[in-house]
Amino acid sequence: MKKLTKSEISGQVIMHIIFILATIIFLYPIILTFMSSIADETSLMRYGMRLIPAQFSLDAYRTVFSDNTILNAYLVTVLVTAIGTFLSVLICSMAGFALSIPTLKYRNKIALFFYIPMVFSAGLLPWFLASTQLYGLSNRPWALVLPMLVSPFNVFLARNYFRSIPPSLVEAAQIDGCSPMKTLISIIFPLSLPILATLGLFIGLSYWNDWSMALWFIRTPSLYPVQYMLFRIDAMMDHIRIHGAIGNMQLPTQTFRLATLFVTLGPIVLLYPFVQRYFVKGIMIGAVKG
Amino acid sequence: MPDKTAAPRPRKQGFLLEMRRNWGYYIMVLPAALVLFAFAYVPLPGLIVAFQQFNVVDAFRSPWVGLRNFEFFFLSGAAWRTTRNTMWLNFQFLIWINVISLSLAIMLNELRSNLSKKFYQNVMFLPFFFSVVIVAQLVVRVVFPDGMGIANQLVTFFGGDQVAWSREPGPWRWIIVFSGVWMAAGHQSIIYLAAISGIDNELFEASAIDGASRLKQIWHITLPMLLPTIIILTLLAIGGMLRGNFGLVWNLVYGIDRPQLGVYTDIIDTFVFRNIMTTINFSVAAAVGLYQSFVGFVLVFGSNWLVKRYEKDYALF
């Protein structure tokens, strides 16, 4: 590395200052959430949010976990994410694989069928009417999975990747008597781990973070996923006030909200260092269109 | 995205023959096609509601009213208001997200220390993993609560009076913009960083020999080389101009307990949502949705046509 000139050194210093400011903007709200969630309610009310609370207290967390509302919400989210991601990756890559076969006569017509919804949709109302009146999704757990199952974009992403695999492999498998499904699973999938991982990660993240399906369809609190429960945080507080094991004592309102917030974002922050590099790779694969 | 590569045609081209030869593949398309059909095609006839005075008893046999629902939407001023708000927010997102993530990417690329480069990049990418609910809760409970949150601490630090943010609708559209940028900047800068690392290094070396400073190199090499990426991202964003960020707006200013903040930020999507879930005005919701889809369709096609003219490979279809 060549020696830096004076102006280059000052450039580096200025950039570091900007990035440190950015780091504060990105991390400070999260740290402050945590520090205030372990503050005592009255000291929080008196002194406002502080990096070092005047008085520590775990009351908020005790309240949050005083009944199993949040654990139940996590259970819903984990199940929905696992089932939804598995099914979505499977059926999107199945469709993508079939569409990547150059000898399939109707593949262009089918591709057209997949791409029309990308440019024209009926809008929310017809979608909502069909989902509730025809398919009876109101208040059903499947409402959290089904409407998000197929995104044409993912089908095309998979197709484009499978196209880069030499077609002779598929032909050879077929001559050996492999069915298309078996070809996909035992020959194509092992060669397509990057795209499968990308699809799985991004689909998984969108299921994990989704709150809107619950907003449209779910009315029973026991079916709330984590994100929607956070959205209904005040209703949840009322629920705990009535049903919680804490009894009738005064609930720590502010810290309760912050503790709930931290319980939902904490796991992501903890998991983040281990998964972020795979998402960065996925962004490269999805390139600009992601 | 139909592909144009010609396939070797079988001698007999009958539908049945094709099915007999390739039924395994068609079965594989079926699950995805069925789900898409159920959620994207079956709802289409429901659009007739836009031309009816929908009531629950008669359902799709409700009385026809022609274009009255559209008339209501346009004459009441709601169309102009929501369209303007939607486009205002999307323009702000487009400009700020791109300007900030582009600057961040260029600066990250210039950093000498690889370790701090990685660290900064990871920090800024973090919000990409948060749901809009989490981001909105951070903003509402931690940054802009009425009490001593981060915003009010800053305000009082600089000598101002504590602001009751939940009673001031004015700043919230900027808060929405800021939150959107906060969520997306890191993700977008990764895209730009990838484009920068794709630039041929010889260009930089040659210009360095000619005595170009780093700033000159950025201006005359990096930015021009990034132009295709910038233009394409911009055109794609223009295609989605009428599709608002419902999740962010709903969580920040409408939510459950703060509809009073929505005066300046009622976008098309929040308007439709309220007409479906709050006022149960299905016909208006369908009409507005149709308007949004139709104009959106024109925009997507128009922007895609431009992308295609510009660089064929990047076209969406």
CATH of the domain at A164: 1.10.3720.10
Give CA–CA dist A225/B189, Å, rounded: 31
List the domain range (segments joined by +) for residue A149.
69-217
Q: Is residue B49 part of a domain?
A: no
- Judge: A146–B46 Cβ closer than 8 Å, yes or no: no
For residue B103, what are the CA distances in angstroms to A12, B88, B190?
14, 22, 12
Q: Least CA distance to A51: which residue of chain B?
A: B150
Radius of gyration of chain A (CA): 25
In terms of pLDDT, which residue wins out, B308 or B42?
B42
Q: Are A288 and B165 in contact (CB under 8 A)?
A: no
Q: How many domains does chain B have?
A: 1
Q: Are A103 and B7 in contact (CB under 8 A)?
A: yes
Phi, psi of B54 (to 5 degrees): -65, 130
A153 and A29 in a single domain? The answer is: no
B312, with CB counted inside 10 A (0-12, 13-18, 19+), is: exposed
DSSP-H helix ranges across B76-162:
78-110, 114-125, 132-137, 150-157
Q: Is residue A258 part of a domain?
A: yes
A38 and A117 in a single domain? The answer is: no
Q: Three-state SS string across A255-288, please? A: HHHHHHHHHHHHHHHHHHHHHHHHHHHHHHHHHH
A129 and A262 in a single domain? The answer is: no
Global pTM exceeds 0.95: no
A82 and A39 in a single domain? The answer is: no
Report the share of chain A in percent with pLDDT over 90: 62
CA A97, chain centre distance (Å)? 25
A81 and A205 in a single domain? The answer is: yes
Residue B19, chain A, CB below 8 Å: the answer is no
State the nearest Cα–Cα gap between B29 and chain A, in angstroms: 4
Residue B111, chain A, CB below 8 Å: the answer is yes
Q: Is residue B273 part of a domain?
A: yes
The shortest CB-CB distance from B7 to any of A99, A103, A115 is to A103
Query: Which of chain B's residues have a Cβ under 8 Å away from the Cβ of A11?
Result: 110, 214
- Judge: B132–A211 Cβ closer than 8 Å, yes or no: yes
Q: What is the pLDDT of residues A229-277, one digit of tens each?
A: 999 988 787 777 777 655 555 677 888 899 999 999 999 999 999 999 8
The shortest CB-CB distance from B36 to any of A1, A117, A257 is to A117
Query: Which of chain B's residues have a Cβ under 8 Å away from the Cβ of A232?
Result: 256
- Judge: A129–B282 Cβ closer than 8 Å, yes or no: yes
Q: Is residue B57 part of a domain?
A: no
Give CA–CA dist A186/B141, Å, rounded: 50
Q: How many domains does chain A have?
A: 2
A194 and A251 in a single domain? The answer is: no
Q: Is residue B238 part of a domain?
A: yes
pLDDT-derived band at B117, boundaries 50, 70, 90:
very high
CATH number of the domain that residue B76 is part of: 1.10.3720.10
The shortest CB-CB distance from A125 to any of B123, B186, B286 is to B286
A214: closest CA among A135, A129, A145? A145
- Judge: B133–A211 Cβ closer than 8 Å, yes or no: yes
Q: Least CA distance to A228: which residue of chain B?
A: B133
- Judge: B25–A7 Cβ closer than 8 Å, yes or no: no
- The stretch B140-169 carries a mean pLDDT of 90
Sign of CA dihedral A290, A264, A216, B90: negative
Sign of CA dihedral A279, A281, A285, A287: positive
Residue B38, chain A, CB below 8 Å: the answer is yes
Question: Is the pLDDT reported for residue B1 higher than 80?
Answer: no
List the domain range (segments joined by +) for residue B243.
68-314
Q: Least CA distance to A155: which residue of chain B?
A: B32
Q: What is the pLDDT of residues B253-299, one digit of tens each?
A: 877 567 777 778 899 999 999 999 888 889 999 999 999 999 989 99
Question: Is the pLDDT reported for residue A143 higher than 90?
Answer: yes
A62 and A83 in a single domain? The answer is: no
